[in-house]
Chain A
Amino acid sequence: MITLILQESTSIFSNGVFIAILGAGLAVLLSGIGSAIGVQMGGRAAAGVLSEKPELFGKMIVLQALPGTQGIYGFIVAILVIMKLGLLGGGTVTPIDAIEGWKLFGACMPIAIVGLISAIIQAKTGVSAIHMTAKQPEASARAITMVALVETYAILALLASILLVQGL
């Protein structure tokens, strides 16, 4: 029985496609969670502001949406991996060995982890920026720039992931 389980598990972890899909899944999962939390934080702060100043909707929606991009970045890396594996569009899967699988898994990690954390941290800056914009609507561009600065690192992680996936 135990040997069967062991055999089973080794066969899972020696299946490169499985490992690569695990990585792609984590890229979407973690960065998506980060973005959802981030957008939610911004949304709550923005809703409070809008109850008093509904005319600021346009500015608030931009600030709220900014931490939403990490989820998209994670999705993009996952799509690249899926394309690499030949899973997209119902094609035949190209079998790869475990090493190749782990490589793709590793390539997914930058955007998975940085996406998760940077989205939440960006949202914290975003909440402050929302409060600032509520008091000084004319300073919204500066507020947006400050929030966008945090995103740089998510973009760098995305680039690293893309280059790794593409390079493998």
Chain B
Amino acid sequence: MIVPMKKAQIVVLKEDKEKVLKNLQKSAVMMLISSEEKEITADISFENETLKKVEESVKILNNYTEKKGLVREEFIVDYETFTSKNPRRLELLELTKEANQRISDLKAENESLKAEVSFYLPWKNLTIKLDEIDSPKLAKINLGFVPASKVDGALELISEYGGDFEVLYSQGSETAVIFSCYIDDEASLLKDLTNLGFSKVSLPKLPLTTSEIIDEKETKIKENLSEIEKLNQDLKDYSNEIKEILLLADKLESEKALKTAPVNETHSAVYLVGWVRSDQLDLLKKAVAKATPDYDLAIMDPEEGEVVPTALKNNKFVSAFEPITEMFSIPSINDVDPNPIMGFWYWLIFGMMMGDAGYGVVLAILMALLIKLTKPKGTTYKMFKMFYYGAFATIFWGIMFSSYFGYQLHKPILLNPQIDIMKYLVVSIIVGALHIISGFLVKAYGDFKDGRFVDAIFDNFAWVFFLMGIGLYFIPNEMVSKVGLALAITGVVLIVFTHGRKNKNIFAKLGGGLYSLYNSVNIFSDILSYSRILALSLSSAIIGMVMNTLAELFTQNPSVFGIIIAAVIYIIGHAFNLAMGLLSAYVHDSRLQYIEFFSKFYEGGGVQFKPLSMNLKHIDKIEKVEI
């Protein structure tokens, strides 16, 4: 049901503002609205910046936390820890960021060191220090690469010039050589060699041998690697404290909510306006009174034309189906809450569409495990719960159809979808007609509640009589059939003579009535749309049966290999069928509610009631909150 809303006005002294707001936030009972058109100009740059840092740190640390798969532990803290200013949290952000930065710096450094090592490697066999290479006065010493295929030619050439040479290193297509020649010959020799593909290399003049340089670089690389190792270990240690960071994020969000709360201030007083659920007025009074003895609290009824937020109060079963309505549109305060009746129909039709007791059991176990292990919150939790309940409807209809993983274990109680197709079609149509009739009845209930008795009877009951009359007419019993006919005719008469009553002219009145009767075409097409229940149920049943037949082909002559293949077919085949069935049932059951059912009475377009609260994203529960 939709909880009636009250408007609350609170006036407190300015010095009590923070305390009052905090108490309101802790008790989460009031949705503050700004009474004037005023931009909120609180400075939340610190919170936003820190939240950004938190996001980065969490991203980094998530690479270091041990993955536990789907399993999630519940995150519960007490209020004192939550509000305490633990400097370690901000410190962790910095430490994580620094360590991560250092790791990427070190990795970059190692990359360039490795490049240098590979630069010096061909010259490793030079046993002299690099700054001594050029020392002779009349000779020139050169280093460079020659293509491997040209080495012999190059060496011959050097000998012709009377030079000395040595092959230092050869790898792949390149050969590293060192040679000497007279200083006057150098230019022409180099020119000839270049024609052969020689490329000159000049090494920096360092007072070290190449192998010393390589050793030095490699030691550095090793040092860096061990530092990276150590930093990784540090980050792993920090990741054990990731909860502190997540807690900080939630704390910042809650502070942000406080700062941006719409508040009107004069020089000495603070004025708060907002919506309260009428069943939580005591909580509001308590929250304000505990903060300060000096307050003024006024509770008012909403005025005509005001946008009143919607809060729903339903039992466990019905609230699981609320997301379906919310995805369509949030109920407005003028609507009748569609969830109690919609939830029941959704549940029932979901079960028919799935229609297999085996799948129902699997789905129930799956959903129970998902809820237990992943501990979802909000809409996700409700959806899992919805499928969990739906699983029991699936079991129920599975027993009715005697379908257990596509096998028939006993005589079907209601019908066998694969054989009694016509019978199932009739059942689908009856379910559809009842669904639509219940939609008209909800509309009539809303009209009654708002005092529109004439509309309730003429607009809605006329259709109910008409539809029920036609239904009864087809029951093979003379008495019932006659009653049905009378009821249907009453419906038609009511429709034709009353539905045009808002028109002025007598002909327009009659015309309006006839036009309304013509709308019965739409209603019949709506009802026929429920034949999809049969179609989806049947396709699920047939695919299940096909999988079983396929698997049985391998078990006719029992062998280990055959049984393994059959098991694989059973498991994969039924998992596929269950997944496709779930998708179809979810989508088409929603569609039946949205298009066929909601069109009869539901308007929606409401605003969700979102009280000032802690805005918890990571923490599941804060304990010991004292107001």
Contacts and interface: CB of A to CB of B under 8 A. Distances in A.
- Interface majority SS on B: helix, strand, loop or mixed? helix
Interface stretch (B188-196, B272-280, B498-506, B539-547): B539-547
| Chain A, interface residues (CB within 8 Å), range | 20 to 34
Interface stretch (B152-160, B397-405, B530-538): B530-538
Nearest to B594: A145
A149 B595 contact: yes
B531 A159 contact: yes
Contacts of A149: 591, 595
Contact of B327 (A75, A88, A141): A141
Contact of B590 (A75, A80, A141, A159): A141
B525 to A, nearest CB: 10
Contacts of B587: 62, 66, 144-145, 148
Contact of B535 (A65, A88, A148, A162): A162
B535 A158 contact: yes
Contacts of A66: 587
A155 interface: yes
Contacts of B538: 76, 162
Given A148-B587, A158-B535, A162-B535, A142 B327 contact: yes
A155 B595 contact: no
Interface in A84-98: 88-90
A69 B590 contact: no
A7 interface: no
Contacts of B588: 148, 151
The bracket for how many chain B residues form the interface is 20 to 34
A99 interface: no
A65 to B, nearest CB: 6
Contacts of B584: 69
B552 interface: yes
Interface in B143-158: none
A74 to B, nearest CB: 10
A142 B595 CA distance: 11
Interface string A135-168: 0000011101100110110011011001100100
Interface string B552-584: 110000000000000000000000000010011
B167 interface: no
A18 interface: no
Contacts of B552: 89
A73 B539 contact: yes
A119 to B, nearest CB: 14
Given A62-B583, A149-B591, A155-B532, 6 more contacts: A73-B539, A76-B539, A140-B327, A144-B587, A145-B587, A159-B531
Q: What are the 3 A-B residue pairs with the smallest beta carbon separation, nearest first?
A: A141-B327, A155-B532, A155-B535
Interface of A: 62, 65-66, 69, 72-73, 75-76, 79-80, 88-90, 140-142, 144-145, 148-149, 151-152, 155-156, 158-159, 162-163, 166
17 contacts: A62-B583, A65-B580, A69-B580, A69-B584, A72-B543, A73-B539, A76-B538, A79-B542, A141-B327, A141-B328, A142-B327, A145-B590, A145-B595, A158-B535, A159-B531, A159-B534, A162-B421
